[in-house]
Chain A
Amino acid sequence: MTRRFDLRRMGIALSAPVLAILVAVIVTSTILVVAGDPVGEVWGTILSVPRPRVIVAIINAAIVYYISAVAVAIGFRMNLFNIGVDGQYRIAAFAAAVVAGEGWLPGPLNILLGLVVAMLAGGLWAGIAGLLKVYRGVSEVISTIMLNAIATVLVAFLLRKAAPQTGSNIVSTQPIPEGSRVGGLPLIPGVSREVYGLVFLAVLIGVLYWFVLGKTRFGFDLRATGRSESAAVASGVKVKRMVLLSMILSGVVAGLVGMPLLFGQDYAYGTTFQPGLGFAGIAIALLGRNHPVGIVFAAFLWAFLDQQSNALQITAGVSDRLVLIIQGVIVLSVVIAYEVIRRLNVRIEQRRVAQALAEQAATVKEGAPA
């Protein structure tokens, strides 16, 4: 009986993202038709089988998106909306690039140092928002948005100081020494591009996320607080401490978002370092329902759409920005669909339980509440 329950629930849960994607296809197609653009060619391009080179690009993008989405999801599980992942990963990547670029430690130790610095920087930056919330009641939404803006200016300012004077237009930190770079994995044959070596970092983060939230006491307290703060307080959870801790934890993971890029591709933090990963993480966490495996699929879908749309301008004569519409509609519909499904689930389960009990006991005692 329980198993049937779970299968049914899973079916319902899967129907939401599928529905959301369908809605996105319809809305996007409508926009294309209205604008007089070739609908068939657009979808033909996006849904074509990606070439090996693109597959590697999709995997690499998904790795980074995954870490970002997990960082956001940690907050979500606690009812905290950490919009600041974007600022946190940029501050962290910059700090790690500066420290690792100095090459104080040899080889792999230098990589480890870089990762630790990134985690510290991300955690500290997110901790500011946590402290503001706990001691001053400032909404983390507001403070992290502000901190994102501050992070942008701060990094730009510090980058000028840290960058070696080369006379070139590109401002960038000292490159990381050869010995401290993470080599790629030639997973896809026939292309020179390789999958980021730090893919293992993303997998590790995913496993830890699942383990800490699902299996530990800390995770139990965190989820309890997210589900009902008042019940968590009554059960002995120190909610202020939990808010601060989970905000910092979210920032620590956010700090790692830029690491596959830094150690596997760019080897320095400069003005061209990829922006916007934090905001993508919010959408992907929503789409993946904060589930460690769900986020994997969501990250791949996001990366797939991103990469496949690059060719739109050439093949269909449509701006590749179209993909933003598709992604936006997916997120909007998925948020609505999940809420509808959640309510549906609550009602269905109530009815099922009542039914099962009615079958168990032919006679139901009737009594008024005392």
Chain B
Amino acid sequence: MRRGEPVVELHGITKRFPGVVANKDIELTVHRGTVHAIVGENGAGKSTLMKILYGVQQPDEGSIAVEGRVRQLKSPADAIEAGIGMVFQHFQLADNFTVLENVVLGAEGLHGIGDGARRKIKEISDAYGLDIEPDALVEHLGVGAQQRVEILKVLYRGARIIILDEPTAVLVPQEVDELFDNLRELKAEGLTVIFISHKLDEVLRVADAITVVRRGTTVAEVSPQDVSARDLAELMVGSELPSPSTEESTVTDVPLLTVEATSLENPLGGRPLLTDINLTIHSGEIVGIAGVEGNGQDELVEVIMGMREPTAGRILLGDVDTSTWQTREIREAGIGYIPADRHRHGLLLEAPLWENVILGHQTEPIYVTGPGGSLVNGSAARQETEAVVEQYDVRTPSINVTAGSLSGGNQQKLIIGREMRREPKVLVAAHPTRGVDVGAQAAIWDHIKQARRAGLGVLLISADLEELVGLSDTIHVILRGRLTGQFDPDSVTKEELGSAMTGATTEGAA
């Protein structure tokens, strides 16, 4: 196809965080007047890459050239100045302001705040078919229109290159169509769009070029005409197949955790977050949940962990109904929990490691002392922490440093260790190896497999298909809050899983 000159060229971009490399040798060339998609699994490094391009983070190595000029983007202001704008997944609009007020906020110097700005907004809206009324109140606009306001905000500030981060995540199908029409208008006018997504069918519909990011680096650039969604999925996940689980099945017929016809209404209205979930985890079984992020995985975990009460259905631990139990009772009953977001739900970042090891197990006999177990047993907690650090290879100079000073991988190992050391009956593990380097990943897998042989039941939620297929005894696919399919990990292909996850095969049913 006809292509303009390169407007964004990234060469050898590398970004390290303590202990991990988030981006390594990124090569990316985006041409003027194209929609360039960047695809990759969650945690593949897409967002770090975009933060670098938008000046939020600085690369350790490599160069960025915008419209032929090599640039040092030290802040978003630099990026805007270079003509790069970003629309975030979560809108940054003030609901009680009008479109005009939102657009000029922070850019008052450009065209004033009155008629000049209003004229400019109309002009942009007409030029790109955005259909935005400057004096409308943002809270009266639908999600699609709010997104167009965000795009207009970026254009108003003079952007010629627009980064859209997962723009379709919040849209219904009709709105997605409208957005894609808008994107075509933008590129027809000579603007460039960088489109981040993991929804492969959408990427194939709208993109002119696709770059695949895997494990922090760019692995391929393909043209949508030449590839199928399957090819893309394979590129995203990597061709190397998981080491087939040669171990004998340890699945027993003793049910440990049973989720029965469980539903969860959305308190804000709209589609239920969970609908009629049925699931059984037996002793010695790992049940994997595959799904695109935001399809009800978090809610399923929160319902099981007692952080939310289901609106219908029952959850049984053994044969005891725990649906109305609170988190503490559920944890005391022997459910270990590895949260998806370790910073928000797993750790006290400003507390020392040994206090973090107590967290979630405050009432465990080993950590309490005194009358009625009302006191914290600090010395026992320190001993346990030493054991966790030792057994789970947490790299730290001391157990008295704060959890926040460890690298992400070591934080994760600390959490895994603290849960596994308590020998839970059931482990609810959400993305247990996210952000962990390859060596530690294998170690964590080994720990889980070992515990499974001893009878542990695991609910494994992961975005890493390799991990799911390699560890699970059964895989369920979750889509829009429903379990839409059950697969045998020994025979399923990644393509089958991928299309089930995106609803390609169950579109009608769901």
Report yes or no: B405 in contact with A346, Cβ–Cβ below 8 A: yes
CB 8 Å contact bits of A233-256 with B (1 = contact, 0 = none): 111111000000000000000000
Question: A369 touches which one: B397, B398, B435 (CB < 8 A)?
Answer: B435
Report yes or no: B345 in contact with A230, Cβ–Cβ below 8 A: yes
CB 8 Å contact bits of A166-196 with B (1 = contact, 0 = none): 0000000000000000000000000000000
Report yes or no: A215 in contact with B436, Cβ–Cβ below 8 A: no
Report yes or no: B43 in contact with A370, Cβ–Cβ below 8 A: yes
Report yes or no: A215 in contact with B375, Cβ–Cβ below 8 A: yes
Report yes or no: A367 in contact with B20, Cβ–Cβ below 8 A: yes
On chain B, the residues within 8 Å of A238 by CB distance are: 326, 328
Q: How distant is the Cα of A367 from the Cα of B374 in the complex, in angstroms?
A: 43
Q: How distant is the Cα of A231 from the Cα of B438 in the complex, in angstroms?
A: 27
The chain A residue with its CB closest to the CB of B350 is A227
Answer whether residue A360 sits at the interface, using C-beta atoms and an 8 A cutoff.
yes
**A242 CB to nearest chain B CB (Å):** 12
Chain B interface category by residue count: 35 or more
The chain A residue with its CB closest to the CB of B439 is A365
Q: How distant is the Cα of A16 from the Cα of B17 in the complex, in angstroms?
A: 30
Answer whether residue B464 sits at the interface, using C-beta atoms and an 8 A cutoff.
yes
Answer whether residue B33 sits at the interface, using C-beta atoms and an 8 A cutoff.
no
Q: How distant is the Cα of A230 from the Cα of B374 in the complex, in angstroms?
A: 23
**B213 CB to nearest chain A CB (Å):** 10
Q: Which stretch of B114-122, B241-249, B360-368, B447-455 is in the interface?
A: B360-368
Give the secondary structure class of A's interface: helix
Question: A368 touches which one: B22, B344, B359, B368 (CB < 8 A)?
Answer: B22
Report yes or no: A216 in contact with B435, Cβ–Cβ below 8 A: no
Q: How distant is the Cα of A366 from the Cα of B407 in the complex, in angstroms?
A: 12
Answer whether residue B331 sits at the interface, using C-beta atoms and an 8 A cutoff.
yes
Report yes or no: B363 in contact with A217, Cβ–Cβ below 8 A: yes
Q: Which B residues from 365 to 422 make CB contacts under 8 A with A?
A: 368, 370, 373-376, 378, 395-398, 400-402, 404-408
On chain A, the residues within 8 Å of B326 by CB distance are: 236, 238
**B8 CB to nearest chain A CB (Å):** 22
Q: Which B residues from 343 to 360 make CB contacts under 8 A with A?
A: 344-351, 355, 358-360
**B64 CB to nearest chain A CB (Å):** 20
Answer whether residue B18 sits at the interface, using C-beta atoms and an 8 A cutoff.
yes
Report yes or no: B327 in contact with A235, Cβ–Cβ below 8 A: yes
Report yes or no: A367 in contact with B438, Cβ–Cβ below 8 A: yes
CB 8 Å contact bits of A213-237 with B (1 = contact, 0 = none): 0011111110110011011011111
Q: Enumerate 23 A-B pairs (CB-CB under 8 Å) in ascending A order.
A: A2-B400, A216-B376, A217-B363, A217-B376, A221-B362, A223-B351, A231-B344, A233-B345, A234-B345, A236-B327, A236-B328, A236-B331, A236-B332, A237-B327, A346-B350, A346-B404, A353-B401, A353-B406, A356-B397, A361-B395, A366-B21, A368-B21, A370-B464
Since A368-B44, A369-B216, A370-B436 are in contact, a sample of 9 more A-B pairs with Cβ atoms closer than 8 Å, ordered by chain A residue number, is A216-B375, A216-B376, A217-B374, A230-B344, A234-B337, A235-B331, A237-B362, A349-B401, A349-B405
